[in-house]
Amino acid sequence: MKKLFKKLTGVVLAATMIMAMGVTAFAADGDVTTHRAVLYKEGTYGTDSQVESMGNDAIGETHVQENSDGTFTVTVGLVEDFKAYGITSNMKSIIVNGVLATMLDQNNNGKYDAFQFKESMAFPQKLTASFTIKASLMPIKATGDLVIY
């Protein structure tokens, strides 16, 4: 019984150590915070005619991580199978402030569910985002003001 207890204590200790290592590695990379991202019609953010884009509902949860060089790695969620005007679409590629973003398929189903880019910024930050959207077979291109709050 004593032996079993010793063994169990060892397992718990090892698990605690592994978990502690995970936390340290995470903290060293900078904290990840959740932000709100809103897509507005191009050129309207901050003006009297500010208006949300028809594509805003395709923008999901956004996470921001500060890098050691002071820039931020931003991961913006995308809604898979987004429907507009009765047509279902998925994102093909996105350019943020002239730079191609990294497309992510986190659930590995062949459809992008987030995009990631690195920027130096102060919140709220307006970025110009150009989307290539695959609706049925036809790709649609559109640009908007992407604001990270």
Q: What is the dihedral of CA 92, 97, 60, 42, to 10 degrees?
A: -100
The sign one gets for the Cα dihedral 100, 102, 105, 106 is: negative
- For residue 132, give every residue at least 6 positions away whose Cβ sits within 8 Å of its Cβ, in sequence order, or none: 91, 92, 93, 94, 139, 140, 141
Question: Which tokens go with 71?
Answer: 């820039």
Query: Rule CB under 6 A: is residue 142 a binding residue for ligand HEM?
Result: yes
- Identify which of residues 72 and 82 has a Cβ nearer to ligand HEM in the complex: 82
- E strand or H helix at 107, and its extent? none
Binders of ligand HEM in range 74-93 (CB under 6 A): 82, 84-85, 87, 89, 91
- Identify which of residues 125 and 130 has a Cβ nearer to ligand HEM in the complex: 130
- For residue 106, give every residue at least 6 positions away whose Cβ sits within 8 Å of its Cβ, in sequence order, or none: 113, 114
Binders of ligand HEM in range 25-84 (CB under 6 A): 41, 53-55, 58, 82, 84
Provide the minimum distance between the beta carbon of 39 and ligand HEM in the complex, in angstroms, as a whole number.
6
Query: Rule CB under 6 A: is residue 135 a binding residue for ligand HEM?
Result: yes
- SS3 state at 124: coil
Provide the minimum distance between the beta carbon of 108 and ligand HEM in the complex, in angstroms, as a whole number.
20
Provide the minimum distance between the beta carbon of 139 and ligand HEM in the complex, in angstroms, as a whole number.
11
Which of 95, 103, 104, 140 is in the footprint of ligand HEM by CB under 6 A?
140
Number of residues this chain uses to bind ligand HEM (CB under 6 A): 18
Q: CA 53, CA 38: separation in Å to the nearest integer?
A: 9
Query: Which residues here bind ligand HEM, judged by CB under 6 A?
Result: 41, 53-55, 58, 82, 84-85, 87, 89, 91, 131, 133, 135, 140, 142-144
